[in-house]
Structure 1
C-alpha cells in the first residue's frame, strides 16, 4: 500500500477540495484582514502540510483497518486525528514561514510576546485546519464505504453469475444415461444383425455426443443446429423403436437463424418418448411444431400417452423441471413452459424471447 495514491481520480478530487479550501481561506483574509506576503506565504505553505496530513489519515485508515471499526468508535478517532494533525499542520506552517517575517511581525506590535503570539497563532489557525482535515476525513470515509459497497455488489454479482453459469452447465446438455446405455446395447446387437444400420447408429450417436460437448461452451445455438441434432436423435430412436415411432416436424424456414438454449428441444422429445411412447406397446406419434410470434418463439411438442395409465405420470420427472430451470436462469420471466394433458396426448408448449445471431 503506497502512502501517495497512484489513482489520478484521487488527486483530481483532492486538488478540487484543496482549491476550495484555499479560496475560502483567502476570501476570509480579504474580508476580515489584509492579504500580505505573510498571509500568502502561509497559505501556500499550508497546502503541502495539509496534503501530508490527510494522506496520513488515509494511510492509517487503510493500514490500521479503521474501516472495520463501528461508527461509534470511528467518529472519535477521526475527531482526534483531525485535532492533533490540525495543530501539527499549523505548527509546521509557522516553522516554515515565520522566520522570514519574524522581524516584520514583531515590529508591528508595541508589546510583543513571542511565545504568546506563536501559541495564539497555532491554536487559532489549528482549529480551522482541524475543521478542514476532519471534513476531508469524513468525506473520505463516506467515499471509501460507498466504494466498498459497490465492490461488494460487484463481487456478489460475479458470484451470482458464476453460480448461474455452473447451474446452466449442470442443467444443460445432459444426455440421459439410460438413453446412452440402450443405444450402445442396441448397437452391440445390431453389429451382428445389420452392420450398415449399426454404422448409421454410431454416426448418429457420435454427432449427438459431439454436439452435446461443443454446445456446453455456448449459452445459445442456432435453431438449425438444434434441428440437426434432433434428426440424429430421432434416427437412433427409429432404429430402436422401428415402426412404433411416428415423428412429425413442422418448423418454418424463417426461424432457422433464431437462437435458443442447446439441447432443449432434444430433451423435450426425449422426455416425450420416455414418459409417453415407451409405455405404448404399439408406439405412437410425436410432433414438434415451431411458430414465430414476432417478438417471441413458440415450440409445441405433442406425444401420445396411454389413455388409462395405471401408475404412469406422463411428462413428469426431472426433464421438464430442468428445462424450466434453465429457461428461468437465461430469460427470467420472459420464458414460460406449459403442459396440458388431454385424452391420449400430452402437450408441452415452450415460449421464449426471439433472438437472432448477432
Structure 2
C-alpha cells in the first residue's frame, strides 16, 4: 500500500489539495461561469449588434472567447495562490497579491487580444478611452470569477472544519465515556465484596443467596454496559436485584419505591443509569435504621424519569468526584438527548433523566 503513495511530500500535498477541491475542476461550474460572463459581455454590445455595426467574428471573440479566457485565467490564479499560501492565511497581503496577479494576467490577455485584432482588423481599432473601459470591465469579470472560487473554497473549508470539530468532539465524548465505564465495574465489585465479607461471618445461608444475586447482577453489569440503550423494564429488573444487595447490607435502613415507571417499560435509557443514581444516594447520605434512606423512581409524564432520595448528609462528608452523574450526562450527550436535570433541595435530591422513545420497526 505504501508504494502507491508518492515519496515526495510536495507531490503528496498537491494530490491531497486537488482531492480536497474537486469542485474547482468541475466542468459544469466552469461552463456555467463562462456562459454567464459571455452573456454579460454580450449585453454590453447588444445595441451595436442590433444595429449591425459589429462583425460576427468580433461578437464571438468578445463574448465566448473572452469569457473563456477570463474564467480560466482567474481560476488558474486562484489555484496558484492556494498552492502557494495555506487556507489559514487570510491576511490582506495575501489577498492583495492574489488580486494584483489576477489584474496582471487579465491585463496581459486583454492587451494581447487587442493588439492582435487591431493589427489584422481595422474595426477593432478605437479610441483609448474605449479600450480602457474594456480593460476595466474585463478585470471586473476576472475579480468576480476569482471571488466566486474563493467563496466556494472557504465555504468548503468551513464545512469540513465543522465536520472535523464534531468528529473530534464525539471522539472525545466516547473516550470520556469509556473511561467512566471502566471506573464503574471495579468500584461496584469492591463494594459488593466488602458486603459479602461481612455477611459470611454472620449468616452463611444469606451469604449464599447474596452470591447468587451478585452473580446475576454482575453478569448484567458486564453485558449491558456495552450497549448504548436498554429498555426501562430490564433496567428496573436489574435495579431491584441490585437493591437486594443493598438491603442485605443495610436492612430496613434503606427502601425503594417504584411508581408509574413500569408503565413506560418499553422506553429506553442508557444502561446502569438507575444503579449509579441509587449508588450515588447511598454514597452521600446516612443510611441507618434510625435515619432510613428512601429512594423513589417515578415517571409522572412518561417523558422524564425522576429518581429522588431524602437528604441526610453524613457527619463526615464524602469527597464527591461527580463520576456517577458525569457518566450519565455524558451518555445522554453522546446520544443527542436533552440534558440531565439535577434538583438539589434542602431535604430532597432529584435527578431527572429523559426517557427515550423506542423507534418502531
TM-score, reference length from structure 2: 0.73
Distance 1:6 1:72, change over 3 A: closer
2:234 corresponds to 1:229: no
- Partner SS, residue 200 of structure 1: helix
Say if 2:122 is the partner of 1:82: no
**Is 1:133 equivalent to 2:133 in the alignment?**
no
Shift in CA distance, 74/287, structure 1 to aligned 2, threshold 3 Å: closer
Q: Per the alignment, do residues 179 and 125 of structure 1 end up closer, same or farther by CA in structure 2, a change over 3 Å counting?
A: closer
Report which of the two structures shows the higher radius of gyration computed on alpha carbons: 1
| Structure 1 residues 203-352: aligned runs within 5 Å | 203-211=215-223, 213-215=225-227, 218=228, 220-242=229-251, 244-276=253-285, 278=287, 280=288, 284-293=292-301, 296-302=303-309, 305=312, 310-312=315-317, 318=322, 321-322=325-326, 325-326=329-330, 329=333, 335-342=340-347, 347-352=348-353
Q: TM-score, normalised by structure 1?
A: 0.73
RMSD: 4.2
Partners of 1:312 and 1:88 lie apart in 2 by 81
Deviations 1:104-161 (A, max 9, x none): x25x79xxxxxx98x9998775444322212222333234333333333333333333
**Partners of 1:339 and 1:31 in 2: CA distance:** 79
Would the alpha carbon gap of residues 86 and 154 (structure 1) be closer, same or farther in structure 2, given more than 3 Å must change? same
Aligned residue for 1:112?
A: none
**CA 1:242 to 1:11, structure 2 compared with 1: closer, same or farther past 3 Å?**
same
Checking the alignment, whether the CA contact within 8 Å between 1:335 and 1:351 is kept in structure 2 is: yes
Match of 1:113 in 2: none
For the 8 Å contact 1:86–1:127, the answer to whether it is kept is no
State the shift of 1:225 in Å: 2.4
Contact 1:300 1:350 in 2 (8 A): yes
Residue 75 to residue 327, structure 1, CA distance change in 2 (3 Å): closer
**Per-residue Cα deviation, 1:184-212 (whole angstroms, up to 9, x for no partner):** 35556878944742540442243243245
| 1:39 corresponds to which of 54, 58, 75 | 58
Gaps of 5+ in 1: 110-115
